[in-house]
Amino acid sequence: MLVRLPESLRRTPQGHEAEAILRSCVHCGFCNATCPTYQLLGDELDGPRGRIYLIKNLLEDETGPEATRRHLDRCLTCLSCETTCPSGVRYGQLLEIAREHLESRHPRPWRERLLRRGLRLLLTRPRLLRRLLPLGRAAGPLLPKSLHPYLRAARPAPPWPRTPHHSLHTPGAAGNDGAKHPKAASPGRRMILLEGCAQAALRPDLNVHTARLLQRLEITALRPPRGGCCGALSLHLGARTEARHLARANIDAWWPQVEAGAEAIVSHASACSLMLKDYGRLLADDGAYRDKAARIAALSRDLTEVLAAEEVAALRPRHVKTIAFHAPCTLQHGLGLAAQAEDMLRRCGFRLLPVADAHLCCGAAGTYSLLQPDLSHRLRERKLAALTRERPDCIATANIGCLLHLQGAAVIPVRHWLELLAEED
């Protein structure tokens, strides 16, 4: 693609990156075939190729910011187009640059800015969200319907597993039962657990299940004080500076344990796993954090990867379930781990049923279900029809966003796959 960005933009790292990505697109349009919004709306500008043209025009001479924003807002950031593209176009990175460009140079009307700022403020702060949940439930009928599944889904946290003796002491942190331990033997295998933000408030039980599951594999899950949101939500809403700030805060919180030999940073939410693996790129131009960010990214593992590398036969449930597995977009298109996850689930004893159009997004996509409820619900209907066609016992997934979104309309249980293993604790 012929691209002529203004010199002032080309000199910035983002402009340089955007130009390289735009030039790699050969307009073939293969990506449209697997784009959920193009399938729903049938408009070239709601497919990846059209969006790439809109971004090019915007970056070249600020053409059509309002139309560009409208079509980019409808994009799920599902990355299905990246999986399909034969030319390796990094659409997700281009979209990230374009969103930040739009937010900084063509601000939204104040109501939209307020809503997005409110979502970022609330969803990235688990303590605040936890305190506001009872209020939200009381005001339920007055709140938008898209919020109801999230309010209904909230659960209390079960107790954390007790820290095994061999892993009692880690510099800079308490053990995973929150207690300080003065002496210890060999530290054993340890992994830092990303507890997340909205997830830590709504479904803290998933973090406890992860800690217990790791313990069954003789791995201690460390809970660093001051660790927080991974930054994905801010990044997807065009607030890159905020995302970088959150990434730096996590690096500072985790670094003492990384230096003390923690072997990985683990997350059971594939969206967060993808973000952590991107820290190196996110902070590549930050001299103070570049090397640490690259190290954190290299140590990051989705829980699926951790289990795939372990002997999981011992985790096999007594009562085998027949499941329809929904691989979140972040797991399949972002991390490329869908096949590995399915294989791991089979080795754990689950029977997996075939699911049509498994590459398509369920419509959750972070805050998409709140900001684009109509498209989001249409995608959910399609996804649930595909997932329930073969009559599974339940639907299993691997990301909190998909789980809550599908739960909002499913007629059978929707669970995180690790819950299914935890049932046998």
* Residues in contact with ligand SF4 by the rule CB under 6 A: 25-31, 35-37, 48-49, 51-52, 75-81, 85, 87, 89, 91
Within 8 A by CB and 6+ apart from 92, the residues are 77, 79, 82, 334
Element (H, E) at 264: strand 264-267
Complex with ligand SF4: residue 33 or 114, whichever CB lies closer: 33
Closest separation between CB of residue 80 and ligand SF4, Å?
Answer: 4
Smallest Cα–Cα separation from 276: which of 255, 294, 289, 252?
294
Rounded CA separation 234/120 (Å): 6
Complex with ligand SF4: residue 85 or 168, whichever CB lies closer: 85
3-class DSSP state for residue 390? Answer: coil
Closest separation between CB of residue 91 and ligand SF4, Å?
Answer: 6
Complex with ligand SF4: residue 258 or 371, whichever CB lies closer: 371
Closest separation between CB of residue 46 and ligand SF4, Å?
Answer: 8
Complex with ligand SF4: residue 34 or 250, whichever CB lies closer: 34
Complex with ligand SF4: residue 25 or 296, whichever CB lies closer: 25
What's the start-to-end Cα distance of the chain, in Å?
55
Closest separation between CB of residue 20 and ligand SF4, Å?
Answer: 13
- Give residue 156's identity as a one-letter amino acid code: P
- What does DSSP assign to residue 269? S
Complex with ligand SF4: residue 221 or 233, whichever CB lies closer: 233
Closest separation between CB of residue 34 and ligand SF4, Å?
Answer: 6
Closest separation between CB of residue 98 and ligand SF4, Å?
Answer: 12
335-365 as b/e, with b when 16 or more CB fall inside 10 Å? bebbebbbebbebbbbebbebeebbbbbbbb
Smallest Cα–Cα separation from 277: which of 294, 257, 255, 260?
294
